[in-house]
Chain A
């Protein structure tokens, strides 16, 4: 089944404790992206990657890191989480190309930073 998977689905952590949220897709997509979703703000893009070893900042990259060592994986790293990073996080992937191309979203990771 073609899908985007995220782990963990739920995480409660404390301020300053490094964490990684994994994202994997099995559709051989070049493009992958991370979003955070907060009430009243919709989804905001954190980072995106157009291919292996190619990453770029989205709208809200502060406090986050990403890596793209393999085509299928795009982990999101919080080196020193803070309470304002409490949010619902989504990973998405799509093929590259011009024009509208459907992005496939993962099921989400709900992160709480105490």
Chain B
């Protein structure tokens, strides 16, 4: 069946180091993927997305890599800061049944990133 999962439920990194959060997916029909950040007590916040026809996309301090061969997605955070501590979710967009505009996101279970001083 379809699933979006994460390799590790928790990740601890030293402040200033780079973080890598991984995600596996199984639906090869997904047309794009999104990473969300959820801080304690708040709703998820969009970080970066990548279309299925891309391998890499960079944002401010973040890079998303997509490996369609092994159905793997990763989020790299450069120079991790205390404010990066949060739960990170990957999500895939299943193409809508009735319309290509439908947002039917399947979320992974999340990775808790803790930044150590």
Interface residues of A (CB under 8 A from B): 4, 31, 33, 35, 40-45, 48, 50, 56, 58-59, 90, 92, 94, 96-108
Q: Are A100 and B43 in contact (CB under 8 A)?
A: no
Q: Determine whether the beta carbon of A50 is less than 8 Å from that of B99.
A: yes
> Which of A44, A50, A100 is close to B102, meaning CB atoms less than 8 Å apart?
A50
Write out the residue numbers on chain A whose beta carbons fall within 8 Å of the beta carbon of B31: 99
- A102 surroundings in chain B (CB, below 8 A): 46, 49
What are the residues of chain B within 8 A of A90 when measuring CB–CB? 43-44
3 closest A-B pairs (Cβ-Cβ)? A105-B43, A100-B49, A42-B107
Do residues B101 and A58 form an inter-chain contact, with CB atoms below 8 A?
no
Known: A107-B42, A108-B42. A99 touches B102 (CB 8 A): no
A interface footprint on B99-117 (CB within 8 Å = 1, 0 otherwise)? 1111111111110000000
A-side contacts of B32, CB under 8 Å: 99-100
Minimum CB–CB distance for A27 against chain B, Å: 14
Q: Return the chain A residue nearest B9 by Cβ.
A: A40
CA A90 – CA B34 in complex, angstroms? 17
Residues on A with C-beta less than 8 A from B68 are: none
Contacts A42-B107, A103-B103, A105-B45 aside, 7 further interface pairs with beta carbons under 8 A come to A42-B108, A42-B110, A48-B104, A94-B103, A100-B49, A100-B93, A104-B46
How far apart are the CA atoms of A103 and B91 in the complex, in Å?
Answer: 12
Inside 8 A of B109's CB, which chain A residues have their CB?
40-42
B72 interface residue (CB < 8 Å to A): no
For the complex, give the distance between the alpha carbons of A35 and B106 in Å. Answer: 10
Residue B51 at the A interface, CB < 8 A? yes
CB closest chain-B residue, reference A101: B103
| With A99-B31, A100-B32 as contacts: A43 and B107 at CB distance below 8 Å | yes
Instruction: Knowing A100-B51, A100-B93, say if A43 contacts B44 (CB, 8 Å).
Output: yes
Q: Is residue B89 within 8 Å, beta carbon to beta carbon, of the partner chain? A: yes
Q: Which of B43-71 contact A (CB under 8 A)?
A: 43-46, 49-51
Which chain B positions have C-beta within 8 A of A41? Answer: 109
- Tell me which of B41, B50, B103, B107 contacts A48 (CB under 8 A): B103
State A75–B91 Cα separation when bound (angstroms): 24
